[in-house]
Amino acid sequence: MRTTSVMIAEDDESIFLYYKDIFSKYTNVEIVGYAKDGESALKMYKDIKPDVLILDLGLPKKNGLELINDLSICEKENPKCNVIVITGDTKLKDNLLNTRKVYRIILKPAPSDILLKTVSEIKSELITKQFPEHEWQVILCKLKLNPYSKSCKLLTDIIKACYTDSELLDNMKKLYCMMSTNYSCSPNKIQSRLRSCIDTANRLSDKKTFSSLFLIDNYNASISPKQFVVGLITHLKNIEDSV
């Protein structure tokens, strides 16, 4: 899955270093910005547009409450609920009325497991919103695949992961390992299920469908899982670009 970009707005450097240590252990999370006050945090957020903002409410110059209000105005048309509020000040917490951008409030000190879990949840929800679900269902229909079958559900998860992280297409072993964790089975089993899904699509749908989806003249069952996934991702991206 594509790296989750995290920005931190915290005036206590020791707490920032605590967050930095937590996220340094995970390759799929990257700290892309660090601000010590609310004014610089607002500018930085607008510039880098992070997936997640970890925000201390007691910031100098512009406190967290004011920053949340400003960010809500900036993203009025398409607001992202992506702010994790970290605070030990219950008075400020009780004044938190504008919660449109606030995903969760965590009291200091923020436990590492809860922090990581919350970042992961935010990223998953962002991916779900970005994915062209309707177009994908149309493709499954064209391939005559049952969306409720185990192999098709796996294919859907693979496509969603690669749709937002195209680098996975260059490392199918990593993709299989990632899915094996989610499905509690071996990477070889994941590859086998994907192969089964390809074979089912090949058996049930017509050659014309494959020609249009994969842009090839002579489709045959020897198409690799990588070619299959790349073809579907490319088709989805082309649809998105044409809208």
**pLDDT at residue number 168:** 83
Range of 13-22, 75-84, 121-130, 156-165 with top mean pLDDT: 13-22
Q: Which residue has the higher pLDDT, 152 or 126?
A: 152
Q: Is the pLDDT of residue 18 over 80?
A: yes
**For position 1, what pLDDT does the model report?**
47
Lowest-pLDDT range of 31-35, 124-128, 206-210, 230-234: 124-128
Q: Is pLDDT at 47 greater than 80 in this prediction?
A: yes
Instruction: Report the pLDDT value the prediction gives residue 78, as an integer from 0 to 100.
Output: 65
User: Percent of the chain, pLDDT > 70?
Assistant: 87
pLDDT band for position 72 (cuts 50, 70, 90): confident
Average pLDDT, the chain: 84
SS (H, E, C) the chain: CCCEEEEEECCCHHHHHHHHHHHCCCCCEEEEEEECCHHHHHHHHHHHCCCEEEEECCCCCCCHHHHHHHHHHHCCCCCCCCEEEEECCHHHHHCCCCCCCEEEEEECCCCHHHHHHHHHHHHHHHHHHHCCHHHHHHHHHHCCCCCCCHHHHHHHHHHHHHHHCHHHHHCHHHHHHHHHHHHCCCHHHHHHHHHHHHHHHHHHCCHHHHHHHHCCCCCCCCCCHHHHHHHHHHHHHHHHHHC
**pLDDT for the residue 108:** 83
pLDDT of 241 higher than 60: no
Could you report the per-residue pLDDT of 179-209, keeping only the tens digit for each? 998 888 999 999 999 999 988 988 888 777 7
